[in-house]
Amino acid sequence: MEQKLSSGLYIVATPIGNLRDITLRAIETLRDVAAVACEDTRVTGRLLQHLDIKQRMIRYDDHADERAREGLLALMADQPVALVSDAGTPLVSDPGYRLVRECRERGIPVTSIPGPSAAIVGITLSGLPSDKFLFAGFLPSKEKAREHALAELAVVPSTLVFYETAPRLTDALAAIAKVLPGREVAVARELTKMFEECRSGTPDELIDHYTANPPRGEIVLMVGPAAAEAASMEDAEKLLREQLRELKPSQAAAAVAKATGLDRKALYALALTLK
């Protein structure tokens, strides 16, 4: 039988819930590779069965030793091999980056077959700023380590995106309330499934809700950026003095209002006094 794919590694994104989210290219790739490397052969086996694909599966996860990785690399040198995670895009908080690194160092071609990612689905549903966001994987499970991780991210001027497990959700929300007070938070769960939910609010509001309604499944936890602090009138006065060296009071007030978000009329009145 003629080989349709060239040798190498094919990173294949798979559905995060709704199996209809599989792409045509992903189906073709899974059908045509020599083997599929996966985290759990039972999970991937169910997907392949749904797609009516009979395929050799090789278990590969973060705990795989050098011997297992070498076996895959040897196979990929001559044949196409797909890498999948249990759900979503491999390498996004999933095993695989060491394998990709080795492939690149050895000149083995690497191809990515894009598709679903829970982090991207979550951020698009959240209503939080999405022009800039930081995906930070899973928070540590221990309380002090979790708070330390959040404290390190406090200065990031973007929406923070985490993966979390249902049993640890309220603990994570409590840590956010303590370390990142005043932030809007969103919780997305059961993504692409029948009971998909994205709920936003303060950490305390979400703790109350999920204490009364314990969640299930994997969760995308998102924290909005800190609100910009309003400039004080003292700061505005300094800016006005600088602007008044070259601009008329009305022009200076307009420039400072735009820079600080303060009221233009109040700034104009102050500019007249300073002038």
Q: Among 61, 89, 116, where does a domain finish?
A: 116
Q: Is 234 exposed, middle or buried (0-12, 13-18, 19+ CB in 10 A)?
A: exposed
State the DSSP string of 213-255: S---SEEEEEEPPPPPPPPPHHHHHHHHHHHTTTS-HHHHHHH
Q: Are 8 and 100 in contact (CB under 8 A)?
A: no
> pLDDT in tens for each of the 275 residues of the chain?
455 899 999 999 999 999 999 999 999 999 999 999 999 999 999 999 999 999 999 999 877 778 888 999 999 999 999 999 999 999 988 778 889 999 999 999 999 999 999 999 999 999 999 999 999 999 999 999 999 999 999 989 899 999 999 999 999 999 999 999 989 999 999 999 999 999 999 999 999 999 999 999 889 999 999 876 656 777 788 888 888 888 999 998 888 887 777 888 888 889 898 87
CATH number, position 39? 3.40.1010.10
Same domain, 45 and 141: no
Same domain, 136 and 217: yes
Give the pLDDT of residue 261: 73
Give the pLDDT of residue 228: 63
How far CA 106 is from CA of 61, 62, 70, 73, 110, in Å, comes to 20, 20, 12, 9, 11
Taking the alpha carbons of 41, 42, 44, 50 in that order, is the dihedral positive or negative?
positive
Give the pLDDT of residue 1: 43
Same domain, 217 and 145: yes
How many whole angstroms separate alpha carbon 255 and alpha carbon 240?
9
Same domain, 195 and 238: no
Q: Among 80, 96, 116, where does a domain finish?
A: 116
How many whole angstroms separate alpha carbon 9 and alpha carbon 77?
9
pTM of the model as a whole = 0.79
Give the pLDDT of residue 230: 59
Same domain, 124 and 215: yes
How many whole angstroms separate alpha carbon 186 and alpha carbon 221?
6
In a domain, 228, yes or no: no
Same domain, 216 and 127: yes
In a domain, 270, yes or no: yes
Same domain, 106 and 127: no
How many whole angstroms separate alpha carbon 273 and alpha carbon 275?
5
Same domain, 103 and 126: no
In a domain, 1, yes or no: no
Which range of residues forms the domain containing residue 245?
Answer: 233-274
Same domain, 188 and 88: no
In a domain, 26, yes or no: yes
Same domain, 61 and 108: yes
Q: Could you tell me which residues come within 8 angstroms of residue 91 by beta carbon, excluding any fewer than 6 positions away?
A: 11, 85, 97, 100
CB atoms within 10 A of CB 123: 21
Same domain, 90 and 133: no
In a domain, 215, yes or no: yes
Q: Among 95, 116, 137, where does a domain finish?
A: 116
Number of domains in the chain: 3
CATH number, position 192? 3.30.950.10
